[in-house]
């Protein structure tokens, strides 16, 4: 049975005949994936003639050579051959895109690269850097800290640099942090420690460098190894399985992390067998400053978007006010037109009612009941009509009843 790494197929006699007379057997090894000896054995099985001794030398020097014809066979043997299967390799992830910088950002990035190449991010006084206030405070705090899963834990009510390492690696981590802080402050940055947001499991302390007005968080972490060992002091469980103890062993491998997200620049550096973080510190500082340039551009973009969003909101607010005013005018117009029709209908009704009463021989005068009613009814029509002068009415005093009830004065 063929191995999964190979594909099975049959030799093609005609194709093999053409190949062995076009190039030597050793040249066909790459095509067929077998040795020249195996190709020769296959030719003998399929009765494919091969060039004789000196054939390729004569052909190379321009001498006339003859090709032996391929003999005809009544039944061509079917010989299986195995060739390597095509391996579909996973494409490598695309490289990080280039930061689409503005001209001023490009000048800043070039300046950072120039500083990196000239050694501006190297620590000039490493012993003095170890006496930095934040480094001394972190040393005093972590020396008294207790380990949890092999990593020294900072008490929740104390402020400390973001260093999460084992006790044997504490001195080295403090030296790395001191060098980074010194290089940052020598190039205009300010480093501080602030309490972290622990509501969602965040870090208790954050080490922040303010670069170009942007807060860049960074820290040092040691990799630990989870080890499970048999517990010889404990009895097996209910089904007889061995019980185990779990512990975390420090590996001595440190990582320097920039916790701000970046689409274009590196934010993590690890110890390797060939390189230690100490030799990468200038690159770390330079990358932190480039990340700050990226965040500054993103902040400016967000501020610009927020400005235009507020501008658009103000424009829409004014538009809403204008629409409300226009709709109110339309409603007043429709109300006036409706009241005008109501007043006209009332007057027509009054006239029709007076005619009906006069036809019944009712007296109509200003001092008669019909006359008084007609005057009152026409006054009410005038009060509704927006084009007529308003007559006084007892209803004008309705506002005096505000706060009064039949039961008590409110």
Kindly state whether residues 41 and 175 are assigned to the same domain. no
pLDDT (mean) for 205-211: 93
Inter-residue contact 111 to 138 (CB < 8 Å): no
Kindly state whether residues 67 and 201 are assigned to the same domain. no
Model pLDDT, residue 6 = 63
Query: Of 253, 278, 304, which closes a domain?
Result: 304
- Report yes or no on 147 lying in a domain: yes
pLDDT at 2 over 50: no
pLDDT tier, 35 (very low <50, low <70, confident <90, very high otherwise):
confident
Kindly state whether residues 75 and 110 are assigned to the same domain. no
Kindly state whether residues 120 and 64 are assigned to the same domain. no
Kindly state whether residues 257 and 196 are assigned to the same domain. yes
Q: Which of 388, 376, 395, 374 is nearest to 344 (CA)?
A: 388
pLDDT tier, 86 (very low <50, low <70, confident <90, very high otherwise):
low
Domain that holds residue 160: 105-304
- Report yes or no on 50 lying in a domain: yes
Q: Indicate the average pLDDT of the chain.
A: 88
> Among 51-60, 199-208, 335-344, which range has the highest average pLDDT?
335-344
pLDDT (mean) for 321-339: 96
- Give strand ranges (E) for 1-96: 6-10, 80-84
- Report yes or no on 409 lying in a domain: no
pLDDT tier, 271 (very low <50, low <70, confident <90, very high otherwise):
very high
Domains in the chain, number:
2
- Report yes or no on 404 lying in a domain: no
Say how far apart CA 230 and CA 103 lie, in whole Å.
Answer: 62
- Report yes or no on 362 lying in a domain: no
Kindly state whether residues 66 and 119 are assigned to the same domain. no
Kindly state whether residues 148 and 217 are assigned to the same domain. yes
- Report yes or no on 251 lying in a domain: yes
Residue 175 exposed, middle or buried by CB count within 10 Å (0-12, 13-18, 19+): middle
Give the lowest-confidence range in 91-95, 154-158, 244-248: 91-95
- Report yes or no on 117 lying in a domain: yes
> Among 87-91, 144-148, 315-319, which range has the highest average pLDDT?
315-319
Model pLDDT, residue 136 = 95
Say how far apart CA 153 and CA 145 lie, in whole Å.
Answer: 6
Residue 273: both structure tokens together:
């067998």
Kindly state whether residues 109 and 36 are assigned to the same domain. no
Q: Which residues pair with 248 in a beta bridge?
A: 226
Query: Of 283, 304, 325, which closes a domain?
Result: 304
For helices 281-359 and 103-117, give the axis angle rounded to 10 degrees. 160
Query: Of 50, 84, 118, which closes a domain?
Result: 84
pLDDT at 199 over 90: no
- Give strand ranges (E) for 196-296: 205-211, 214-230, 244-258, 268-270
């Amino acid at each position: 049975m063929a191995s999964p790494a190979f594909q099975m197929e049959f030799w093609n006699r005609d194709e093999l005949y053409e190949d062995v007379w076009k190039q030597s057997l050793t040249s066909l090894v790459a095509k067929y994936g077998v040795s020249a000896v195996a190709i020769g054995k296959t030719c003998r099985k399929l009765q494919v003639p091969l060039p004789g001794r000196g054939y390729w030398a004569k052909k190379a020097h321009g001498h006339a050579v003859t090709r032996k014809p391929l003999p005809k066979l009544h039944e061509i043997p079917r010989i299986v051959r195995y060739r390597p299967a095509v391996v579909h390799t996973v494409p490598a992830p695309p490289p990080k895109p280039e930061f689409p910088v503005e001209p001023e950002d490009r000048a800043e990035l070039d300046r950072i690269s120039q500083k990196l190449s000239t050694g501006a991010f190297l620590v000039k006084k490493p012993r003095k850097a170890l006496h930095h206030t934040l480094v001394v405070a972190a040393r005093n705090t972590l020396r008294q800290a207790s380990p949890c899963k092999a990593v020294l834990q900072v008490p929740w009510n104390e402020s400390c640099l973001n260093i999460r390492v084992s006790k044997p690696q504490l001195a080295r981590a403090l030296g790395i942090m001191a060098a980074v802080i010194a290089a940052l402050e020598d190039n205009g940055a300010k480093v501080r420690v602030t309490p972290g947001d622990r509501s969602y499991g965040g870090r208790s302390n954050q080490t922040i460098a303010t670069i170009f007005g942007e807060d860049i968080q960074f820290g040092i972490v040691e990799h630990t190894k989870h080890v499970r060992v048999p517990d010889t002091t404990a009895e097996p469980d209910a089904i007889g399985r061995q019980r185990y103890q779990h512990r975390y062993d420090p590996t001595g491998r440190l990582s320097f992390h920039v916790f701000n997200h970046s689409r274009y620049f590196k934010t993590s550096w690890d110890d390797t067998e060939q390189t230690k973080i100490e030799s990468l510190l200038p690159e770390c500082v330079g990358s932190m400053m480039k990340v700050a340039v990226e965040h500054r551009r993103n902040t400016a973009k967000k501020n610009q978007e927020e400005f235009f969003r507020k501008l658009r909101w103000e424009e829409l607010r004014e538009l809403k006010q204008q629409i409300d005013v226009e709709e109110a005018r339309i409603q007043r117009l429709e109300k006036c037109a409706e009241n005008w029709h109501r007043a006209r209908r009332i007057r027509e009704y009054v006239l029709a009612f007076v005619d009906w009463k006069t036809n019944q021989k009712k007296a109509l005068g200003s001092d008669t009941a019909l006359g008084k009613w007609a005057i009152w009814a026409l006054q009410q029509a005038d009060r509704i009509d927006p084009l007529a002068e308003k007559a006084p009415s007892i209803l004008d005093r309705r506002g005096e009843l505000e706060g009064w009830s039949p039961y008590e004065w409110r």
